[in-house]
Amino acid sequence: DMKMSELANTIIETIERAGGEAYVVGGAVRDTLLGRVPGDYDLATSLLPDEVIPLFPVVIPTGLEHGTVTIVLEHVPFEVTTFRSESTYSDRRRPDHVTLGVSLEEDLTRRDFTINAMALKPTGLVDLFGGQSDLANKIIRTVGRPEERFEEDALRMIRAFRFMSQLEFSLDDLTERAIAKQAETIQHVAIERVAIEFEKLLLGPGRAAALQAMLRTGLATYLPHVTSEVMGRLAQSPLQGVSTENVWTLLLDAGFPQERLRVFKRSKKQEQRAKRLVALVRLEQLTDWQRYTLTDEELLALNQMTGRSHADRTTLAIRSLKDLRVGGRDMIAAGLKKQEIKEALHYLEQHVVSGRLENQRSILLEEVSKWKNQHET
């Protein structure tokens, strides 16, 4: 299996042999220079989609109107986009139209931050805006005048805080002042787009500092449904190493309104998981029953987030109802009514888990007949 970076270089060389130019761009360049492994590789090329398509065996036209195709090499997808510029963001949401076939320089100029505006190919790095130096100094700074760049696209303001959090960088002074001036324009951005960036911010190791900066600039005020109390509690949350599955736990724990969580697209299952976990994140100690209500994985996540070391579930008397030495048939044999069976099993389960009853068949059967007598009198 070839490494992703080698596959990206194969694409670059293939395009060059066809007379074009191509570079790895954006996040993958930033991550590579930081010594991190990029999650994916985006490429930019001088060739038009029509010219790229015949060069590779598997090409998916994922966004032709924006100049994007996806090349699949050894099952790895690579987004390859024709150099483009974007013009007039009249609604502060999306560019009105893109122009294909511009220079690499123009393509890099439209990008948001200096650290995201570099291009890399095997023979060299293109860094027109001081991205390397900002990486070294750990600074988030817009390409060009921040006022203009945030006027074009207000989403970039929350992206600034997102990268602060993910990379544990600080915000360039002028960039921060521009956000403070234009904060209210974030309201024009579609909530779903804001939520995607805000979630990435919440999952980053620099969450607290990024949220403080959001409060400082006033941007926090304009996030729908995020009150200043919620922001304050999020900024001070002791929860660490929160992963995507646990972002709802973090939000609920901070008092984010339950009925608004939907914008952070999660399944019903994740919602229930969050409700189970949020009840436990503040507890110093867990009862055996509380540990029993979690899955192994949830208990692990709880330990990770809280830094506590609750014993794993192997120390429990039983780990599920199936481990109980009696079952539904025994309940029927003991003369229980159908609607009583679930309740009786739950009663035994609770007593066995909490250690008040031993998980022994004879003991449990005796307890069932006691339970039955009590319920009949």
Binding site for Mg ion (CB under 5 A): 27
Q: What is the DSSP string of 20-63?
A: --EEEETHHHHHHHTTPPPS--EEEESS-HHHHGGGSS-EEEEE
DSSP-assigned beta bridge partners for residue 243:
none
Q: In this complex, which beta carbon is closest to Mg ion, that of residue 27 or of residue 206? A: 27
CA R_g for the chain: 28
**CA–CA separation, 150 and 147 (whole Å):** 5
Rounded least distance, CB 153 to ligand ATP, Å: 5
Rounded least distance, CB 40 to Mg ion, Å: 6
Q: Is 144 left (phi over 0), alpha (psi -120 to 50) or beta?
A: left
CA 88 to chain centre: 30
Cα dihedral sign for 237, 239, 240, 242? negative
Rounded least distance, CB 224 to ligand ATP, Å: 19
Q: In this complex, which beta carbon is closest to Mg ion, that of residue 27 or of residue 67? A: 27
156 contacts which partner out of Mg ion, ligand ATP, none, CB within 5 to 8 A by kind? ligand ATP
DSSP 3-state assignment of 77? strand
112 contacts which partner out of ligand ATP, Mg ion, none, CB within 5 to 8 A by kind? ligand ATP
**CA–CA separation, 332 and 43 (whole Å):** 66
Rounded least distance, CB 38 to ligand ATP, Å: 7
**CA–CA separation, 126 and 51 (whole Å):** 24
Q: In this complex, which beta carbon is closest to Mg ion, that of residue 27 or of residue 49? A: 27
Give me the residue whose beta carbon is nearest to Mg ion.
Answer: 27
For 216, half-sphere exposure in the C-beta direction (CA atoms, 13 angstrom radius) is: 13
Q: In this complex, which beta carbon is closest to Mg ion, that of residue 66 or of residue 181? A: 66
351 contacts which partner out of ligand ATP, Mg ion, none, CB within 5 to 8 A by kind? none
Give me the residue whose beta carbon is nearest to ligand ATP.
Answer: 27
116 contacts which partner out of ligand ATP, Mg ion, none, CB within 5 to 8 A by kind? ligand ATP
| Residues in CB range of 39: below 8 A, 6 or more apart | 27, 31
Rounded least distance, CB 86 to ligand ATP, Å: 8
155 contacts which partner out of Mg ion, ligand ATP, none, CB within 5 to 8 A by kind? ligand ATP
Q: In this complex, which beta carbon is closest to ligand ATP, that of residue 84 or of residue 351? A: 84
Centre a 10 Å sphere on the Cβ of residue 86 and count the other Cβ atoms it contains.
Answer: 19
**CA–CA separation, 59 and 72 (whole Å):** 6
Rounded least distance, CB 40 to ligand ATP, Å: 7
Q: How is residue 58 written in tokens?
A: 């598997």
**CA–CA separation, 254 and 256 (whole Å):** 6
Q: In this complex, which beta carbon is closest to Mg ion, that of residue 27 or of residue 204? A: 27
204 contacts which partner out of Mg ion, ligand ATP, none, CB within 5 to 8 A by kind? none
Rounded least distance, CB 92 to Mg ion, Å: 22
Q: In this complex, which beta carbon is closest to ligand ATP, that of residue 3 or of residue 346? A: 3
* Strand arrangement, sheet containing 59-63: 59-63, 68-73, 76-82, 42-45, 22-25, 119-121, 124-126
Q: In this complex, which beta carbon is closest to ligand ATP, that of residue 39 or of residue 57? A: 39
Centre a 10 Å sphere on the Cβ of residue 322 and count the other Cβ atoms it contains.
Answer: 7
Rounded least distance, CB 25 to ligand ATP, Å: 7
By the criterion CB under 6 A, which residues form the site for ligand ATP? 26-27, 39, 42, 111-112, 116-117, 153, 155-156
